[in-house]
Structure 1
Amino acid sequence: MQVSHSPAAVSAAFDAPNLIAHAGLVPLMRLAERCGLPHLVAENVKLTGVKNGAGASADAKVTSIVGGMAAGADSIDDLDLLRHGAMPALFGGIRAPSTLGTFLRSFTHGHALQLHAVHRKFLAGLAARAPLLPGAGEVAFIDVDSTHKRVYGRGKQGAEYGRFKGIRTLHPLLATVCTPIARPVIAGVRLRRGKSADSRGAPTFVSEALATAARAGCTGIRILRADSQFYNAGVVAACLRAGARFSLTTGMNPSVKRAIHTIPNSDWQHISYPTAVPDPETGELISDAEVAEIPAYTAFTGHKKSEQVTARLIVRRVRDLAKPPVQGEQGELFPVWRYHPFFTDSPFETLQAEQHHRHHAVIEQVIADGKAGPLAHLPSGHFNANAAWLTLWAMTYNLLRAAGALASHFHAKATTATLRTHLIHVPARIARSARRIALHLPHNWPWQHGWTHLFDTVHGPPEPV
């Protein structure tokens, strides 16, 4: 592709008052309104006693931040992209970045908890209006994981040298909900200090995530999946109290090693993966493995009797390519094979339960999505401001997923970056006639049908919820 005119024949000027760069925000924010976001914020977030009036009009400020994040803002200053061209003719209550920064810095821990409540209720509203989680009436998976986000500046509250030597981080905790045929949505987020243990506060967080999943329409089997940092009695007890199942990586502790040693060679079933999967320890691609099960393994034997749980221990083993096979009956069992066990009460048969557990890695896509967008920065020096920013990103992520589900089957499984490109970053010219506004969009827009279906759906008569 080449520019069709010479440099001297091309000029540019930012002087068109009737243009907007992000016409997709019109149906997106209409969807947020129909799902009650402004009302939920006004009802739940009470920033009383805050100086300089920063707590006033919390609903307008939250929706401004959500709209900015949906358009691609990854810092407070970037939220200024909402104030261009004819945006004020389409949206009311747009706030300046300085106002939004003051609003976020006014948050306390209690206000952050209020925003968490908005997030949970908003997800339930989105799930009621859009096919976010098809198949959730049969089975849904709740994935929990943590991540470290590198931050800079010694004045940033909560930033500490944690897992990575010489790197200051904050330590978000996430829970997502998905089904075998749906991309994940975010059920909950928490921001912790950089040195916080991965499982700190996990039982309470898991209870909230399971309750949120139920409110979002997950009425069938709910299975919590997590890695070995969350293998503890508190997390399992939270699942049992909520009537949910669990599937937790155990790690190779002495009790698990002894249990694996008792598995007869005849019990191992060969499994071939249609697509190679990365080994969690070495990163090498694995196409073949063997799986076996211990039907009754009692975990947490060091706890009192009421906290001990008996369930299935399913083990996947792959040959350690760094060591040659050992001759003999048992040989060097653990040097020759590498084992990946997980503890579960899944109702599915062994190979299917192993496949489900391996798909826990889908939460990493959500984490990567956030770090490529609004979580590229945790923009404030105030810890609670960053906690609010994290929650607002989760709300924006779910809103974009709902918009994609309403647009088309393709967009229901598209990444957030694709949703922005296809549905949000659409330029438009505004025309007025008889007190009505018309959006004139680019001719031959490749994703016109999906955008139009989204627009017509959210602007048509509301369907009963």
Structure 2
Amino acid sequence: MHSSTPPRAVSAVFDDPNLVAHAGLVPVMRLAERCGLSDLVTQKVKLTGTTNGAGAAADSKISSIVAGMAAGADSIDDLRVLRHGAMPTLFGGIRAPSTLGTFLRAFTHGHALQLHAVHRRFLAALAARTPLLPGSGEKAFIDVDSTHKRVYGRTKQGAEYGRFKGIRTLHPLLATVCTPHARPVIAGVRMRRGKAADSRGASKFVSEALATAVESGCTGLRILRADSQFYNAGVIAACHRAGAHFSITTGMNPSIKRAVLGIPNDAWQQISYPTAVPDPETGELISDAEVAEIPEYTAFASRKKAERVTARLIVRRVRDLAKPAVVGEQGELFPVWRYHPFFTDQPAAALRAEREHRHHAVVEQVIADSKAGALAHLPSGHFHANAAWLTLWTMTYNLLRAAGSLASAFHTKATTATLRAHLVQVPARIARSARRITLHLPHNWPWEQAWTHLFDTVHDPPAPA
């Protein structure tokens, strides 16, 4: 590929008021309107009495932030991407970045909780109007995990030196919902200070995530999956109260170690992975392992009887190639194993339960997606402003996933970056005729069919209730 004209034969001028760089925001924000985003904000978010009128027109301000994030903004200043060309013709109520920054800084903890309520109901509306979670009536997985987000500036509230030496972080907690046929969507998030323990507030958070999953149509078998940081009696009790199953990594505490070492050799079943998977401790790729099950293991035995839980302990073991085999008295070689147990009450057979538990790693894709998008920065020095920014990112993430599910089968499982490149960041020129606006988009756009299907679907008259 090379330039088709001499250098001096090309010039550039930013002077066309009828162009837009993100025409895909038209169907995406139309979908948000049809799912009642503005109405939900008006009903739930009450920033009355704030200084300088920051709480006025909260619905327009939140819609502006969501649209900016959908277009790729990862800071407050980047939200000015909405104020170019013909965008004011296509959208009303676009706010300046300075106004939106003042609005976010007006949030308190109570306002952040109000925004969480909007997020939950917005996700339920998206799931009801789009094929966002196919198969949710049969089986759904709720994955809980935490992440550390590095931040800069010593005045940023809540930032602390936590797990990583010399690095100041905030410590968000998030829960996702997925099915065997769908990529995950975000059921809930919480912003926490950098030194917050992984399990802090986990039982309440799990209860809310399970309730959100039901509101989103996950009425069949529900399985909570989590790492060993969430292996505690409170999280399992929350699953029992919600009528859900659990599948939680345990780690090797002394009680579990005794139980694992007592498994007879003939109880281990061979399992081969279709594709090699990374070992969680060494990072090496492994394709073979062995699985065994202890049908009845009582966890939290030192607690009072009401808090003890008896369920299945499923263990996967892999050869530890980093350590040499042990030579016995008669010259035999005894392999050295690493054990990875998890505690579960789900009804699937041991091999299938182990495969499904390993799929908990899908939540890491969401975390990576966030840090490549709107969470590349937590832009404010105010803790609750960053908490609101985090929740608004989750709403944007779910909105783009819903738009992708309406566009095509390929975009149902595409990443957010791909959805943005294919469906949102489409240049267009507008033309007015008979009080109608026509978008003239690029000829031979590779994803024209998917974009057109999304556009036509969200602009069709709504189906009768």
Specify every segment of 5 or more residues in structure 1 that has no aligned partner in the other structure, as ranges: none
1:249 maps to 2:239: no
| Aligned mates of 2:167, 2:75 — CA distance in 1 | 21
Deviation, 1:4, is 0.4
TM-score by length of 2: 0.98
CA distance 1:232–1:332, change in 2 (3 Å): farther
Cα shift readout 1:169-216 (whole Å, capped 9, x = no counterpart): 000000000011100000000000000000000000000000000000
Equivalences for residues 364-403 of structure 1 within 5 A: 364-403=364-403
Aligned CA RMSD, in angstroms, stands at 1.5
Identify the residue that residue 269 of structure 2 maps to in structure 1. Answer: 269
CA distance 1:95–1:333, change in 2 (3 Å): farther
Deviation, 1:463, is 1.8
For 1:144, what is the secondary structure of its paired residue? strand
Deviation, 1:303, is 1.1
- Runs of 4+ displaced beyond 4 Å: 331-335
Partner amino acid, structure 2, of 1:391:
T
| Aligned mates of 1:75, 1:126 — CA distance in 2 | 25
Partner amino acid, structure 2, of 1:370:
S
| Aligned mates of 1:325, 1:96 — CA distance in 2 | 66
Partner amino acid, structure 2, of 1:226:
A
Partner amino acid, structure 2, of 1:84:
H
Deviation, 1:164, is 0.4
| Aligned mates of 2:444, 2:229 — CA distance in 1 | 50
1:106 maps to 2:106: yes
| Aligned mates of 1:301, 1:264 — CA distance in 2 | 23
| Aligned mates of 1:131, 1:340 — CA distance in 2 | 35
Equivalences for residues 280-429 of structure 1 within 5 A: 280-328=280-328, 336-429=336-429
Partner amino acid, structure 1, of 2:198:
D
| Aligned mates of 1:63, 1:202 — CA distance in 2 | 30
Identify the residue that residue 143 of structure 1 maps to in structure 2. Answer: 143
Cα shift readout 1:337-384 (whole Å, capped 9, x = no counterpart): 000000000110000000000000000000000000000000000000
Identify the residue that residue 183 of structure 1 maps to in structure 2. Answer: 183
1:430 maps to 2:430: yes
Specify every segment of 5 or more residues in structure 2 that has no aligned partner in the other structure, as ranges: none
| Aligned mates of 2:189, 2:206 — CA distance in 1 | 11
Q: How many residues are paired up?
A: 465
Partner amino acid, structure 2, of 1:15:
D
| Aligned mates of 1:5, 1:199 — CA distance in 2 | 61
Equivalences for residues 92-131 of structure 1 within 5 A: 92-131=92-131
Identify the residue that residue 229 of structure 1 maps to in structure 2. Answer: 229
Cα shift readout 1:52-99 (whole Å, capped 9, x = no counterpart): 000000000000000000000000000000000000000000000000
Partner amino acid, structure 2, of 1:367:
I
Deviation, 1:302, is 1.5
Cα shift readout 1:244-291 (whole Å, capped 9, x = no counterpart): 000000000000000011111001000010000010111111100000
Deviation, 1:235, is 0.2
CA distance 1:322–1:390, change in 2 (3 Å): same
Partner amino acid, structure 2, of 1:371:
K
Identify the residue that residue 10 of structure 2 maps to in structure 1. Answer: 10
| Aligned mates of 2:406, 2:112 — CA distance in 1 | 30
For 2:2, what is the secondary structure of its paired residue? coil
Deviation, 1:105, is 0.1
| Aligned mates of 2:334, 2:104 — CA distance in 1 | 52
For 1:239, what is the secondary structure of its paired residue? helix
Partner amino acid, structure 2, of 1:132:
L
CA distance 1:252–1:334, change in 2 (3 Å): farther
For 2:116, what is the secondary structure of its paired residue? helix
CA distance 1:13–1:398, change in 2 (3 Å): same
Identify the residue that residue 62 of structure 1 maps to in structure 2. Answer: 62
Cα shift readout 1:413-449 (whole Å, capped 9, x = no counterpart): 0000000000000000000000000000001100000
Partner amino acid, structure 1, of 2:457:
T
CA distance 1:334–1:173, change in 2 (3 Å): farther
Cα shift readout 1:3-55 (whole Å, capped 9, x = no counterpart): 10011000000001000000000000000000000000000000011010000
Residues 177 and 187 in structure 2, CA contact (< 8 A), matched pair in contact too: yes
Deviation, 1:324, is 2.1
Deviation, 1:464, is 3.7
Deviation, 1:325, is 2.3
Deviation, 1:334, is 11
Partner amino acid, structure 2, of 1:54:
A
Residues 142 and 178 in structure 2, CA contact (< 8 A), matched pair in contact too: yes
| Aligned mates of 1:294, 1:19 — CA distance in 2 | 65
CA distance 1:124–1:332, change in 2 (3 Å): farther
Percent identity (aligned): 82
More divergent stretch after superposition (67-76 vs 334-343): 334-343
